[in-house]
A and B are shown apart, each in its own frame.
Chain A
Amino acid sequence: MRTPSVASLALLLPALAAADPRIVTTTEGLAALAREVAGGRARVESLSRGVQDPHFVDANPILAVKLRDADLLVDVGLELEVGWLPPLVTQSRNARIQPGGPARLTAASAIQVLDVPTGVVDRSRGDLHAGGNPHFLTDPRRALQVAAAIAERLAALDPGGADAYRGNLAAFRARIDAAIPRWQAALAPVKGRKLITQHRTLPYFLAWTGLESAGELEPKPGVPPPPAHLADLVQVARREGVKAIVLENYYDRRSADVVARHAGAKVVQIPGDVGGEPGVGGYEQYIGVLVDRIAGTAR
């Protein structure tokens, strides 16, 4: 671990051979993908819970203990975890999971990022993510890309399990590939419809499903909505025929309720991630719930 190069991966092998790799992820969505790929061969744990807003997790030193023992850390990146992960990684004293280390995988590096801001980037525009939108696991195609990156990294760290990881990935890919047409069929009746979200959490989902956004309750990222903005949104919603105000269940829903009432739309609460509500224990269930809830607004 003196050099964060691929060559140093070899140094890790003896350690991994003794026990199943321990994979720590920052979110439950990433943990779900890691479990698909690892099968029973690795222990997987998420630092945050699906019911939490991933922007506002506490930098609780207890989490550094989990990182100390991690053989692989998978984070989202794009500054989603900038408020809590860096000090934990430093406290962990685990050289391999430092940024750029052999046991650190930043999922955003595996996908094409949307919403990369251009022009002036400063906080007059709210709490924007300068690197782009980090909520990419709402698109199953991108989730597969992330799962593939996890499989490749695991195969490098634990060559003895490489075949198993690639086999698990192929099985997961087959399931997702089979599910995508079902999900798209379920959403066909609402294709082209516009919806409003609390925060820009769904651009990847919308890009995948062919739905559109009519705006956000937050006038700028992370900024709570004033009545003037909500009034504007109501007018937009009426004009554009918006039927759904979609928000993650960790947000206060009062503003959404008000807009929905005036615009004649429905408030649709969704889990923010895998584990975000009871019964949403795996990645397919998570996407299934998103699809069902949003398709349900057509009925």
Chain B
Amino acid sequence: MRSQVVASWLAAVLALPAVGGAQEPVKDEAEETDRKKLEEDIARELGAPPAPGEAQASPQPGAAQGGAGQGAAGSGDAARLARLLMLPDLSAVVSGAMAYGTYDIEQRSPRSGPFGPEGKPAFLFEELELGIQAVVDPYARADAFVAFTPEGAEIEEAYLTTLALPAGLQVRAGKLFSPFGRQNQQHPHAWEFVDAPLAQSRLLAEEALSGAGVDVSWLAPLPWFATLHLAGQSTAPGEEDPTALTGLARLEQFFSLGDAVTLGVGVSAARRDEPGGGAFRDLGGVDLYLRFRPLQSRSYLALSGELYARRFRGAEDAPDGTDTGGWAQAFWRHGRHLGYGARYEWAPSAGEAASGTEQRAAALLAWLPSEFQRLRLQVAYDRRPGGEDGLETLLQLEFGLGAHGAHPF
């Protein structure tokens, strides 16, 4: 479930020439006039402007759209070339946004997601995420993701996954997003919303909770999907020491509630060493995911939410005590081109804001001309302690190139 944006293109069958071989028809003027009228009639009858991305002249149905060799068994030379060279699957996902906010987000609501300066619109390049994925040998596969951002290049993840361990066991080793919660393990282009919930960046990690280490998971021999993860990693939730040991555990389950409904429930816990003798931080999380998708439909409704708690004990630079935060969202994918979302969240305030709970509500409109690009408008209203309010707007473009990954679930 990684390269998804890219997603579903799979679709289509074929490619080629419209069968039948017809030759370019000779058109006289009367026929052309007739065709124009037909097009207008059809547009009116379909009750909508032409579907997205189709403003350009359409190809002639009778004309070949590029040659396809009929009947050449397995002779896709271009397709085979990559296989012959043993190239891994390469993909890139690029994102950038136009941001506008009515307050100083950097100082008064610091976060990881894209934001602009106070009171004026700004264009922001977010990242180019390069994915390199392949089977290593009969026993393992590898997935690596490098993010190129204005701050530089960073290896987001690079890990090996075993394929052939017995007893339902699987090991991932390398640098990886921690198996804590659901959203933390997804790359940004798999999120329904443009940015991460505040609670995730304030309580788990500024970016994703991640680091070098090992994740051992066990698929329990039960009739539903139940996995138990035990992981050890060196994590750096903020800008501190990147070598602090973190132990994690996660139980993730999915249940089928009929043909159209799936329920996912996860519980996560982690303990991280902190500077100072015997100091540590504990993290706890609960995540829920409920997805409705009629079998015959491309549309679906996904309800999801997570709760996080963080507690410090004996840390040098953080007072003992427990902080909590969370988010809940609904996303409706309507057909192949549109999506609508709503999200509510709360988290401890940060930066120069008064201490207390910050709340934010966001609405999202997504337009997908194809499975390989999307344009999203996210408008959020932010209320910080002390009665400070602010509005933020993000218009984000995202597109994917190269190998097609599976869609996120």
Within 8 A of A (CB), among B1-54: 1, 7-16, 18-20, 22, 25, 31, 34-36, 38-43, 45-46, 50-51, 53-54
Contact status A224-B54, CB under 8 Å: yes
Chain B residues with Cβ below 8 Å from A220 are 12, 15, 59, 65
Contact status A114-B71, CB under 8 Å: yes
Contact status A130-B65, CB under 8 Å: no
CB contact under 8 A between A51 and B295, given known A116-B69, A226-B54: yes
Looking at the complex, which of B115-123, B159-167, B230-238, B242-250 is the stretch in contact with chain A? B159-167
Q: Tell me if A119 is interfacial: C-beta within 8 Å of chain B.
A: yes
Assembled-state Cα–Cα distance A293/B104 (Å) = 65
CB-nearest residue of chain B relative to A214? Answer: B20
CB contact under 8 A between A221 and B13, given known A59-B1, A59-B407, A258-B42: yes
How far is the CB of A41 from the nearest CB of chain B, in Å? Answer: 23
Contact status B71-A112, CB under 8 Å: yes
Q: Tell me if A185 is interfacial: C-beta within 8 Å of chain B.
A: no
How far is the CB of B109 from the nearest CB of chain A, in Å? Answer: 35
Assembled-state Cα–Cα distance A45/B293 (Å) = 21
Chain B residues with Cβ below 8 Å from A132 are 14, 74, 76
CB-nearest residue of chain B relative to A134? Answer: B13
Contact status A117-B38, CB under 8 Å: no
Q: Tell me if A115 is interfacial: C-beta within 8 Å of chain B.
A: yes
Assembled-state Cα–Cα distance A236/B53 (Å) = 23
Contact status A58-B409, CB under 8 Å: yes
Q: Tell me if A230 is interfacial: C-beta within 8 Å of chain B.
A: yes
Contact status A52-B75, CB under 8 Å: no
Contact status A59-B406, CB under 8 Å: yes
Q: Tell me if A222 is interfacial: C-beta within 8 Å of chain B.
A: yes
How far is the CB of B99 from the nearest CB of chain A, in Å? Answer: 29
Chain B residues with Cβ below 8 Å from A82 are 10, 404, 406
Contact status A65-B170, CB under 8 Å: no
Assembled-state Cα–Cα distance A166/B22 (Å) = 44
Assembled-state Cα–Cα distance A259/B8 (Å) = 27
Assembled-state Cα–Cα distance A95/B53 (Å) = 42
Binding site for A on B (CB under 8 A): 1, 7-16, 18-20, 22, 25, 31, 34-36, 38-43, 45-46, 50-51, 53-55, 57-62, 65-79, 135, 138-139, 141, 161, 163-165, 168-170, 219, 222-225, 254-256, 259, 262, 264, 291, 293, 295-296, 298, 336, 370-372, 404, 406-409
Q: Tell me if A241 is interfacial: C-beta within 8 Å of chain B.
A: no
Binding site for B on A (CB under 8 A): 1-4, 49, 51-53, 55-56, 58-62, 64-65, 68, 79-87, 90-93, 95, 98-101, 112-121, 123, 125-135, 194, 199-201, 203, 206, 212-216, 218-236, 239-240, 249-250, 254-255, 258-259, 261-262
Chain A residues with Cβ below 8 Å from B293 are 58
Query: A56 is contacted by which of B11, B62, B372 (Cβ under 8 Å)?
Result: B11
Assembled-state Cα–Cα distance A65/B168 (Å) = 10
How far is the CB of A119 from the nearest CB of chain B, in Å? Answer: 5
Contact status A231-B65, CB under 8 Å: no
How far is the CB of B198 from the nearest CB of chain A, in Å? Answer: 28
Query: B164 is contacted by which of A95, A135, A229, A249 (Cβ under 8 Å)?
Result: A95
A-B contact pairs, 24 of them (CB 8 A): A1-B164, A2-B139, A49-B259, A51-B295, A55-B12, A56-B10, A58-B262, A112-B71, A113-B74, A115-B70, A118-B66, A120-B78, A125-B66, A127-B8, A127-B12, A128-B12, A128-B13, A129-B13, A131-B79, A133-B13, A200-B13, A220-B15, A222-B10, A222-B370
Contact status A60-B254, CB under 8 Å: yes
How far is the CB of B61 from the nearest CB of chain A, in Å? Answer: 3
Query: B138 is contacted by which of A4, A64, A120, A200 (Cβ under 8 Å)?
Result: A4
Contact status B42-A227, CB under 8 Å: yes
Contact status B163-A95, CB under 8 Å: yes
Contact status B163-A90, CB under 8 Å: yes
Assembled-state Cα–Cα distance A123/B15 (Å) = 10
CB contact under 8 A between A227 and B138, given known A82-B10, A262-B38: no
Contact status A49-B295, CB under 8 Å: yes
How far is the CB of A48 from the nearest CB of chain B, in Å? Answer: 9
Contact status A117-B46, CB under 8 Å: no
Assembled-state Cα–Cα distance A128/B53 (Å) = 17
Chain A residues with Cβ below 8 Å from B296 are 51-53, 249-250
Contact status A199-B13, CB under 8 Å: yes
How far is the CB of B190 from the nearest CB of chain A, in Å? Answer: 12
Assembled-state Cα–Cα distance A53/B60 (Å) = 26
Chain A residues with Cβ below 8 Å from B370 are 123, 222-223
Assembled-state Cα–Cα distance A227/B39 (Å) = 5
Chain B residues with Cβ below 8 Å from A86 are 406
Assembled-state Cα–Cα distance A130/B50 (Å) = 28
Which of A118, A135, A250, A262 has the most chain B CB atoms closer than 10 A to its own CB?
A: A118
Chain B residues with Cβ below 8 Å from A3 are 138
Assembled-state Cα–Cα distance A233/B223 (Å) = 50
Complex A-B, nearest 4 residue pairs according to Cβ-Cβ distance, in ascending order: A221-B12, A128-B15, A215-B61, A229-B58
Chain A residues with Cβ below 8 Å from B225 are 61-62, 64-65
Assembled-state Cα–Cα distance A85/B409 (Å) = 12
Contact status A117-B42, CB under 8 Å: no
Chain A residues with Cβ below 8 Å from B409 are 58-61
CB contact under 8 A between A55 and B138, given known A62-B224, A87-B406: no
CB-nearest residue of chain B relative to A63? Answer: B225
Contact status A123-B16, CB under 8 Å: no
Chain B residues with Cβ below 8 Å from A61 are 225, 254, 264, 409
Q: A85-B406, A254-B46 are in contact. List 19 more A-B contacts (CB 8 A).
A: A49-B259, A51-B296, A64-B219, A68-B219, A93-B219, A95-B165, A100-B138, A114-B70, A115-B13, A116-B72, A118-B68, A121-B15, A127-B11, A199-B11, A212-B19, A214-B61, A219-B61, A224-B54, A249-B296
Contact status B77-A118, CB under 8 Å: yes
Contact status A84-B31, CB under 8 Å: no
CB-nearest residue of chain B relative to A135? Answer: B13
Query: A121 is contacted by which of B7, B79, B138 (Cβ under 8 Å)?
Result: B79
Chain B residues with Cβ below 8 Å from A226 are 50-51, 54-55, 58
CB-nearest residue of chain A relative to B222? Answer: A65
How far is the CB of A244 from the nearest CB of chain B, in Å? Answer: 14
Assembled-state Cα–Cα distance A84/B11 (Å) = 11
